[in-house]
Amino acid sequence: MYDLTNKQMKTELHKIALITGANSGIGLACARKFAGDGYGVIVTGRSEAKLQPVVQELQKTGCNVLPLIFDVRDRQAVAEAIERLPEAWRTIDVLINNAGGAMGLEPEYEGDFDDWDTMIDSNIKGLLTMTRLIVPGMVERNRGHIINIGSVAGDAAYAGGGVYCATKAAVKSLSDGLRIDVAHTAVRVTNIKPGLVETNFSVTRFHGDEVRAAKVYDGITPLTGDDVADVALYAANAPAHVQIAEVLVLATHQASGSVVYRRN
């Protein structure tokens, strides 16, 4: 297990970002970008084995990094991890709710119950758990920033994606609602809605079928995790009086969640 006292902390922490699902994809890209900008980063993931290389990589750059091992679907585990945070890491400036994903692409009437539970518990309830545990401190300090990783899928449903699209529509509603709830404070809320991003997203959706997953990106240059992380860092670094409320980020030849021009 990791030593949460973080005895190797190199400098006093001035800014702290907590990033869920940081072992790969957009989460990993955000961890790298924020670390490079001088943030101390708290990275979370379900697997210590997968998160450890991330910690080692960031530490080599001189970044202060603290790993937390939990599944955002396990509310008790999340609460215990947050409660055990060392004093130096408790003042979280930026919360990036990234953990989650899509499972399956069957018609809704043929969907898998377990896939539905995974998406709802991760994309919605996991985000809510992190928000409920971290944001009260931001409100009390009258500063902080919540960045939710939504999706273009939250704007309109597409074939076979009804449940996933519904969870990302929920992310939009939860982001908008939270922004209203904290409007009396200096806390900011951003919803970033990426389109096609080439990560492990499609491999997970198709339960490890890498051939099928690769076809999702045929004929188009998709976004990368770095592209989305750039937007997150830009929003976080905007002047204090500026709130980047929502950003839709698409690949150049993608017009919506269901309209993509593919080169032959």
Whether 131 is in a domain gets the answer yes
- In this prediction, residue 9 has a pLDDT band, given cuts at 50, 70 and 90, of low
The tally of domains found in the chain comes to 1
d(CA 200, CA 210): 9
Whether 7 is in a domain gets the answer no
d(CA 172, CA 166): 10
Dump pLDDT digits (tens) for 215-235.
899 999 999 999 999 999 999
Whether 4 is in a domain gets the answer no
Q: What is the pLDDT averaged over residues 193-199?
A: 94
What pLDDT shows up at residue 22? 97
Dump pLDDT digits (tens) for 69-85.
999 999 999 999 999 99
Which residues lie below 8 Å from residue 235, measured CB to CB, with a gap of 6+? Answer: 145, 147, 188, 190, 192, 244, 247
Place of tokens 């944001």: 135
Whether 76 is in a domain gets the answer yes
Place of tokens 């937007």: 231
Tell me: pLDDT of 1 over 50: no
Q: How far apart are the first and last CA of the chain?
A: 50
- In this prediction, residue 208 has a pLDDT band, given cuts at 50, 70 and 90, of confident
Catalytic residue ranges:
164
For 34, the token pair is 């924020």
d(CA 97, CA 4): 21
- In this prediction, residue 5 has a pLDDT band, given cuts at 50, 70 and 90, of very low
Whether 260 is in a domain gets the answer no
What pLDDT shows up at residue 203? 84
- In this prediction, residue 12 has a pLDDT band, given cuts at 50, 70 and 90, of low
Which residues lie below 8 Å from residue 191, measured CB to CB, with a gap of 6+? Answer: 148, 150, 171, 172, 175, 176, 245, 246, 247
Whether 1 is in a domain gets the answer no
Kindly calculate the radius of gyration of the chain based on its CA atoms and give it in whole angstroms.
18
DSSP lists the bridge partners of residue 191 as 148, 246
- Domain range for residue 240? 16-249
Instruction: Give me the half-sphere count of Cα atoms (radius 13 Å) on the Cβ side of residue 167.
Output: 24
Tell me: pLDDT of 10 over 60: no
CB atoms within 10 A of CB 203: 16
Q: What is the pLDDT averaged over residues 119-139?
A: 98
Phi then psi for residue 27, to 5 deg, are: -60, -45
Q: What pTM value is reported for the model?
A: 0.93
CATH number for the domain that contains residue 126: 3.40.50.720
Whether 262 is in a domain gets the answer no
d(CA 142, CA 225): 30
DSSP lists the bridge partners of residue 63 as none
Q: Is 2 left (phi over 0), alpha (psi -120 to 50) or beta?
A: beta
